Every structure is written in C-alpha cells, then in structure tokens.
Amino acid sequence: GAVVSQHPSWVICKSGTSVKIECRSLDFQATTMFWYRQFPKQSLMLMATSNEGSKATYEQGVEKDKFLINHASLTLSTLTVTSAHPEDSSFYICSAPDPGASGYTFGSGTRLTVV
Amino acid sequence: GENVEQHPSTLSVQEGDSAVIKCTYSDSASNYFPWYKQELGKRPQLIIDIRSNVGEKKDQRIAVTLNKTAKHFSLHITETQPEDSAVYFCAASRGSAGNMLTFGGGTRLMVKP
C-alpha cells in the first residue's frame, strides 16, 4: 500500500524555538495531507488539512500562525510549530488518502517534547 | 461537522472471551468506518473497515457491524489474546478522497491471561 514517511520520529526542543515536521508520500502523490495531534491517553484530533498548492484549512481553535503548514509539492507536506511551548508537547501524525486502498495511510508520528 | 462517540473507554476481558466496542456517529453523509489499533507511540494500524453499503464484515477473529439507520457501528473481537491488548479507535469519514477522518475517543482493551 501507499507509504507516508514522517520525520523526525522524536524531537526535543527548547521553549521558544521552532520545529519542522516533514511528511513525504513515497510511492504516490498526496494532494491532501491531514495533520493530527494526539495528547497522552487521548484521541487523534485533526489540526488542519493541507492541499497541494493552496492554503491549509485549520480546525477551530488551532492557531494558523503558530502551526505553519506548507504543501508545496505533491509528495511533501510540512508542519512547523513556531515558538513552541511545553503545552505543545504532543504526538503529531500526518495522514493521506491512500489512492490504492481507498482508505488512509499514516505517517509514523513525531513525538515533540518542549522543555 | 462529524462527531464520533466511542464506548467503553476501558475494557478488561479474560483471555478467550469476546470484546465489543461500540461507536456512534452524527453525520449521515459518512460512508466509511475504519477501526484502528494503536500501540503506545506508534501510528494507528487499520484492522478492519466497513463501508455504508455493507452491514457486516468479518476477518478471522474480528468483525464489524454497521447500522446506518441508527448511525452506530461496533467492533467484535472473539477469542481474545493478550496481544490484542492495545488502544482501539473507531473513525468515520465521507470517503477518503479529500475527506478527513474523525476519530472516536478510544478504548483501552486489556486482555488478562
């Protein structure tokens, strides 16, 4: 099936710095990428939907100036957490529609810890 | 938007027993209902899915039922094994092409040997 490669798998950063998370579709073109956030012992909550070549759509309550999403090509979508704070510490995971299986494929997730 | 409710939040069963997890959804336009198993710190792993043109689907020890009228669907695991212990999420979508998945709150399943 389709594969989405997500990097880094974990990152520790200082409060106030920015962190970029990348998701690459390896064997298909992802025109849409969904970005989810998962706090410990909670469910996956959609943060935003990125579409290649256009602005991302953010869910209510998600700050678009803090969580910058770029989907400049059909194989790469990035999420940048700007001016990270400890409350941004979470598991971030991307997902794209799987063109072959008519479902969704997920990246492996990024564990962000802000200290 | 879509709202997916999942129950129970925790479920403890004895090895060999059956486990049932139930979900309800609100958007009548949803037509794709996957179930995921998630290990700690890992990506969700699809274990079974069902579409709205089908009422039931089975894959070995796992089955899913869908009641479109009542807007609920359920996961059934028979002959549970300790390795089934994990967090399970239901989800709903209007179909994968450009449509997001909305997840239920999750069920922590513990299978006691």
Distance CA A102, CA B29 (A): 17
Contacts of residue A69, Cβ cutoff 8 Å, sequence gap at least 6: A35, A48, A50, A56, A77, A78, A79, A80
Is it the case that residue B96 has pLDDT exceeding 70? no
pLDDT above 70: residue B83? yes
**Residue A26, both tokens:** 């390896």
CB contact, 8 Å: B40 with chain A? no
For residue range A50-108, what is the model confidence (pLDDT) as tens digits?
A: 998 889 999 999 999 999 999 989 999 999 999 999 999 999 999 999 888 778 999 99
Q: What is the mean pLDDT of chain B?
A: 95
With CB atoms and an 8 Å threshold, state whether B43 touches A93. yes
Strand order from edge to edge, sheet including B62-67: B4-7, B19-25, B72-77, B62-67, B56-59
What pLDDT sits at residue B1? 87
The sign of the CA dihedral A7, A10, A13, A17 is positive
Asked if the Cβ–Cβ distance from A45 to B103 is below 8 Å, we say yes
In the structure encoding, which two tokens stand for residue A104, read together? 């969704």
Q: Do B49 and A103 touch (CB under 8 A)?
A: yes
What pLDDT does A44 receive?
97
Closest partner CB to B101 (pick from A91, A95, A107):
A95
Shortest CA gap A46–chain B (Å):
8
Structure tokens at B81: 């094994």
Contact B96 A49 (CB under 8 A): no
What is the per-residue pLDDT for B53? 84
pLDDT tens, residue by residue, B32-79: 999 999 999 999 999 999 998 889 999 999 999 999 999 999 999 999
A20 and A7 in contact (C-beta within 8 Å)? no
